[in-house]
Chain A
Amino acid sequence: DAGVIQSPRHEVTEMGQEVTLRCKPISGHDYLFWYRQTMMRGLELLIYFNNNVPIDDSGMPEDRFSAKMPNASFSTLKIQPSEPRDSAVYFCASRAPPGDTGELFFGEGSRLTVL
């Protein structure tokens, strides 16, 4: 299994630009989570989906952030416009059914730097 695949691995952009991060979950996993990691705040949950439907987006910091999951094998996290404080590593993770517990499998992350 290829695991959770994220792209790009690194992104450097200027303030005000649009950023799109992409994620391909593990095949057969129907839960998908987006996390953000910074030194100051650690790993923070932004949003999660079940069967492509957003369940809870209360962790999304501002309206500049949006996430979609158009099908079971693809999700995007978009920041528009980007700001320097958005600089962080963004992780996507997926979880397999069934049941209500089970480990999350994380991708390698997308390191975003906003200048």
Chain B
Amino acid sequence: EDQVTQSPEALRLQEGESSSLNCSYTVSGLRGLFWYRQDPGKGPEFLFTLYSAGEEKEKERLKATLTKKESFLHITAPKPEDSATYLCAVQTDSWGKLQFGAGTQVVVTP
């Protein structure tokens, strides 16, 4: 059975304090690994897709990396507006359905 596990469950950071979120996966065939951001009361908002081990993508203070077993979302010098729940998801079929992890809730304080 495919599994997606995110850690930690929650992370509290001071503004400017860099950190990393982990997404480990056990799947039968990875077609893509996705990172989303979700703000309270909103739907998930797409951040990145990674397709193969060694791939990296960046957007502002966020950088996502992928290995054969896990993905990391690095937050560099975070700001309070980076506070959100970060979700990772895997796609293993050709239809595009995503299986999500439980998420990491990030709080950045000034």
The contact sample of 14 A-B pairs, CB cut-off 8 A, is A33-B98, A42-B101, A43-B44, A45-B97, A45-B98, A48-B96, A100-B31, A101-B51, A102-B49, A102-B96, A104-B98, A106-B44, A108-B41, A108-B42
Q: A42-B101, A43-B87 are in contact. Are A100 and B43 (CB under 8 A)?
A: no
Flag if B98 contacts A106 (CB, 8 Å): no
| Extra inter-chain contacts (7) besides given A43-B44, A106-B45, CB under 8 Å | A42-B100, A56-B97, A100-B95, A101-B32, A101-B49, A103-B34, A107-B43
Kindly identify which residue among A48, A103, A107 contacts B95, using a CB–CB cutoff of 8 Å: A48
Query: At the interface, yes or no: B109 with Cβ under 8 Å from chain A?
Result: no
How many A residues are at the interface, by size bracket?
A: 20 to 34
Q: Which residue of B lies closest to A91 (CB)?
A: B43
Flag if A100 contacts B102 (CB, 8 Å): no
Scan residues 95-115 of chain A and give those whose CB is less than 8 A from a CB of chain B. Answer: 95, 100-109
A71 to chain B, nearest CB (A): 20
Query: At the interface, yes or no: A50 with Cβ under 8 Å from chain B?
Result: yes
Interface size on B, residues (CB 8 A): 25
The total of interchain contacts (Cβ-Cβ below 8 angstroms) comes to 60
- Which A residues lie at the B interface, using CB under 8 A? 4, 31, 33, 42-43, 45, 48, 50, 55-56, 91, 93, 95, 100-109
Flag if A55 contacts B95 (CB, 8 Å): yes
User: Contacts of B46 on A, CB cut-off 8 Å?
Assistant: 103-105
Flag if A106 contacts B96 (CB, 8 Å): no
How distant is the Cα of A93 from the Cα of B100 in the complex, in angstroms?
A: 14
User: Contacts of B91 on A, CB cut-off 8 Å?
Assistant: 101
Q: A104-B46, A107-B43 are in contact. Are A95 and B99 (CB under 8 A)?
A: no
Q: A42-B103, A101-B51 are in contact. Are A95 and B96 (CB under 8 A)?
A: yes
User: Contacts of A102 on B, CB cut-off 8 Å?
Assistant: 49, 96
How distant is the Cα of A91 from the Cα of B45 in the complex, in angstroms?
A: 12
Query: At the interface, yes or no: B28 with Cβ under 8 Å from chain A?
Result: no
Scan residues 22-51 of chain B and give those whose CB is less than 8 A from a CB of chain A. Answer: 31-32, 34, 36, 41-46, 49, 51
Interface string of B76-110 (1 = CB under 8 A from A): 00000000000101010011111111110000000
